[in-house]
A and B are shown apart, each in its own frame.
Chain A
Amino acid sequence: MTSVLYDAPGPGAKRRNIVYTVLFLIVLGLGVWWIYSAMDDKGQLEWAKWSPFTESQAWTTYLLPGLANTVKAAALALVIALPLGALFGIARLSDHRWVRVPAGVVVEFFRAIPVLILMVFANQFYATSTDISTEMRPLYAVVTGLVLYNASVLAEVVRAGILSLPKGQTEAAKAIGLRKGQTMRSILLPQSVTAMLPALVSQLVVIVKDTALGGALLSFTELLNARKTLAANYSNVIPSFIVVAVIFIVLNLLLTTFASWLEKRLRRAKRSTGAVLTGEAMEDLTATGTPERLSDIRKTDGGSGPGGGGAVP
């Protein structure tokens, strides 16, 4: 598509492109040089600040346990949020008004509130009203916040996944005499699960990123917080930040690559209905409003390049 925007470069355009490339390269180079010299100037490039990352102990004592907590919170949140989300997603499709409307209100409510607010609330609630040990409380609070928010996002994913199936599926089910529950259980859900998989993996990236909120504000010892103890030992605040950022990037790139691989595979799958809910389509679901778009999701064309798609910012 992009090449449609400009002609195949002739000699003049080629020259111009080279000039632009060189100019851009100079700007980039200046930027990099400025970063380098500023860091050098402040002593951030001293080997002593970076060498800890070549030692196994810095990883086994601080970073890996932190990463394990990050993964643990994210996995727990996904595993709990998924059935909850499915429940609410299906409830929103109910024929009964008294089921559909409350489910819709709950979903829209939790999607409209920042995760951080939910986490802070859960943390305080557990501290004052429950018997959870102080050590485990941050984990519980982080997972609770993530579950409340992501279950409501996943409810929309499930709903969209079911809506993305061709109408013929429901009609055929009706024709052979299946009841509503049976249609949902044995026809719609199994097919929509495969359609939803890529979107689910994309949402996992969002969950992983949001665990860092607990580290910064609830003293949950995930990766970002483990960095704190590491930096207290080696006095390398900035380098440790960079290393932690790189770990997050690698982890999430793996997830997004996996998501787009899944998406491609499912799109090719002959026996499925070909309905795939991409990460791209997810963007439409991440905030409030516009339910009429959901029926269009099947038409969403992939081709979004590397990374598969961005879920909620």
Chain B
Amino acid sequence: MNLRKASAAAAAVLALSLTATACGSDDSDSSSEGEGGGKKITVGIKFDQPGIGLKTPDGSYTGFDVDVATYVAKELGYAEKDITWKETPSADRETALERGDVDFIVASYSITDERKAKVDFAGPYLLAHQDLLIRSDDNIAKGADLNGKKLCSVAGSTSAQNVSDELAPKAQLKEYGTYSECIDALASGAVDALTTDDSILAGYASQDQNKGKFKLAGLSLSNENYGIGVKKGDAKMVDDINAALEKMVTDKAWDKAVTDNFGPAEYKNEPAPKIGNIVS
């Protein structure tokens, strides 16, 4: 008897796992409808960067990149509800565009020659600089002050390399998986500064729970021209997005997006960049 019961239990386990599989896999279907029939558009953003692209607890998305993407999509003829947001981690951005998994990417995506070989860029829509985030009672005025300090960045990022190679070779570099972890380490005093693009830093410093705790050092260590990534060769898409970006600047929606997302951090943003004007 017990044998039969045990077999029944085994069958139940199997059935359970199968159901788990089944209910898990139906969420990815809505993705691959292109611009055509369904009138849907898929946009790649970051999900875990406050101020840039963040998935909030109620399941909506906020951030500067999200505002820009929403505006551009609207100009292209897609209402907000027709946008499917997808997470595009840095390492996956080129592949996602090449494969057509997303229609365009707005994800703190700096325009570089290496990337231009693989994808096309519209914009730039923001000129960011590599900067430092420090505790508000701290002071770091120039790059050389970093020597002997402990610096945090995300594993594999170019920002960290820039500092250790050029500005302050004697700085200690700690690499974490995400910036949130760096923020924690910065708050607890385990590191002295967090380095990456000032826009990302401003996003973190503007979060409610971080307000007043951190400040930007105001160093412009590099120029990062954020562009909107588009599949290589899709010239019409690039033109349409560029037109939308120009309109966003002229009707002041751009300024509003900057204040909304970076305001509390006293982030001195560069004026809206001219389309195609890449500052190197």
Stretch at the interface among A65-73, A93-101, A108-116, A284-292: A65-73
Q: Which of A43, A216, A269 contacts B187 (CB 8 A)?
A: A43
Interface centre among B5, B6, B25, B54, by most A CB within 10 Å?
Answer: B6
Q: What residues on B are CB-neighbors of A57 within 8 Å?
A: 57-59
Q: Does B141 belong to the interface (CB within 8 Å)?
A: no
Instruction: Determine whether B280 belongs to the interface, using a CB cutoff of 8 Å to chain A.
Output: no
Contacts of A219 in B (CB 8 A): 89, 91-92
Q: Which of A55, A76, A228, A269 contacts B2 (CB 8 A)?
A: A269
Q: Which residues of chain B are within 8 angstroms of A233 by Cβ–Cβ distance?
A: 50, 54-57
Q: Contact check, B181 vs A75: say whether CB atoms are below 8 A apart.
A: no
A72→B25 contact, CB < 8 A? yes
- Residues of A within 8 Å of B7, CB to CB, are 193-194
Asked if B88 is at the interface (CB within 8 A of a chain A CB), the reply is yes
Query: Is A7 an interface residue, CB under 8 A from the partner?
Result: no
Shortest distance in angstroms between A296's beta carbon and chain B's nearest beta carbon?
24
Q: Is A134 an interface residue (CB 8 A)?
A: yes
Q: Are B101 and A133 in contact (CB under 8 A)?
A: yes
Query: Which A residues are in CB contact (< 8 Å) with B13?
Result: 201
Q: CB distance A232 to B49 under 8 Å?
A: yes
Establish whether residues B48 and A235, one from each chain, have CB atoms under 8 Å apart when the complex forms.
Answer: no
Residues of A within 8 A of B207 (CB): 235
In Å, the complex CA distance between A68 and B23 comes to 9
A contact face: mostly helix, strand, loop, or mixed = helix
Residue B180 at the A interface, CB < 8 A?
Answer: yes
| Contact pattern, A 47-61, Cβ under 8 Å of B = 1, otherwise 0 | 010001001011011
For B10, the chain A residues whose CB sits under 8 A away are 193, 197
- B20 CB within 8 Å of chain A: yes
Contacts of B180 in A (CB 8 A): 228, 231-232, 235, 237
B57 touches A75 (CB 8 A): no
A72/B24 contact (C-beta < 8 A), A134-B95, A238-B184 known: yes
Q: Which of A167-175, A260-268, A299-307 makes up part of the contact surface?
A: A260-268
Residues A228-286 near B (CB distance < 8 A): 228-229, 231-235, 237-238, 262, 265-266, 268-272
Contacts of B18 in A (CB 8 A): 75, 79
Q: CB-CB < 8 A to A74: which residues of B?
A: 17
* Docked complex: A136-177 residues within 8 A CB-CB of B: 136
With A and B bound together, what is the CA distance between A52 and B188 in angstroms? 21
Q: Which residues of A contact B25 (CB under 8 A)?
A: 72
B3 touches A271 (CB 8 A): yes
The answer on a CB contact under 8 Å between A79 and B101 is no
Cβ contact within 8 Å between B48 and A232:
yes
A188 within 8 A of B: no
> Within 8 Å of chain B (Cβ to Cβ): is A192?
no
- Determine if B209 and A79 form an interchain contact, defined as CB atoms under 8 angstroms apart: no
A269 contacts across to B, CB distance below 8 A: 1-3, 6
Interface residues on B, range: 35 or more
Closest to B182 in A: A237
In the complex, B14 has a CB within 8 A of chain A: yes
**Distance A133 CA – B48 CA, assembled complex (angstroms):** 21
CB pair B95–A266 under 8 Å, yes or no, is no
Complex Cα–Cα for A76 and B16 (A): 11
Q: CA of A75 to CA of B23 in the docked complex: distance in angstroms?
A: 12
Contact between chains at B2 and A270 (CB < 8 Å): yes
B45-88 interface bits toward A, Cβ cutoff 8 Å, 1 = contact, 0 = none: 00111100011111100000000000000000000000000111
User: What residues of B have a CB within 8 angstroms of the CB of A237 in the complex?
Assistant: 180-181, 183-184
Instruction: Check B101–A135 contact: CB distance below 8 A.
Output: yes
A269-B2, A271-B3 in contact; A134/B17 too (CB < 8 A)? no
CA A62 to CA B57, docked complex, whole Å: 8
Q: How far is the CA of A71 from the CA of B54 in the complex (A)?
A: 25
User: Chain A residues near B48 (CB, 8 Å)?
Assistant: 228-229, 232
B183 to chain A, nearest CB (A): 6
Q: Which residues in A have their C-beta under 8 angstroms from that of B210?
A: 235
Q: Does A78 contact B (CB under 8 A)?
A: yes
A135 touches B50 (CB 8 A): no
| A52 near B209: Cβ-Cβ < 8 Å | no
CB <8 Å contact, A61 and B3: no
Q: Are A69 and B92 in contact (CB under 8 A)?
A: no
Partner of A271, one of B1, B91, B179: B1
Q: A193-B10, A194-B7, A228-B178 are in contact. Are A127 and B95 (CB under 8 A)?
A: yes
Q: Which residue of B lies closest to A55 (CB)?
A: B57
CB–CB B57/A262 < 8 A: no
CA distance A197 to B181 in the complex (A): 41
Contacts A/B (CB < 8 Å), 10 sampled: A68-B23, A79-B18, A133-B28, A135-B87, A194-B6, A233-B50, A237-B184, A266-B6, A269-B6, A272-B2
Residues of A within 8 A of B (CB): 42-43, 48, 52, 55, 57-58, 60-62, 68-69, 71-72, 74-76, 78-79, 127, 131, 133-136, 193-194, 197, 201, 216, 219, 221, 228-229, 231-235, 237-238, 262, 265-266, 268-272
3 smallest beta-carbon distances between A and B, as pairs: A75-B17, A269-B2, A57-B57
Interface residues of chain B, those whose CB is within 8 Å of chain A, are 1-3, 5-7, 9-10, 13-14, 16-18, 20-21, 23-25, 28, 31-32, 47-50, 54-59, 86-89, 91-92, 95-96, 99, 101, 177-181, 183-184, 187-188, 207, 209-210
Name 7 extra pairs, CB < 8 A, besides A42-B188, A270-B2: A42-B187, A133-B28, A194-B7, A216-B177, A219-B91, A233-B57, A237-B181
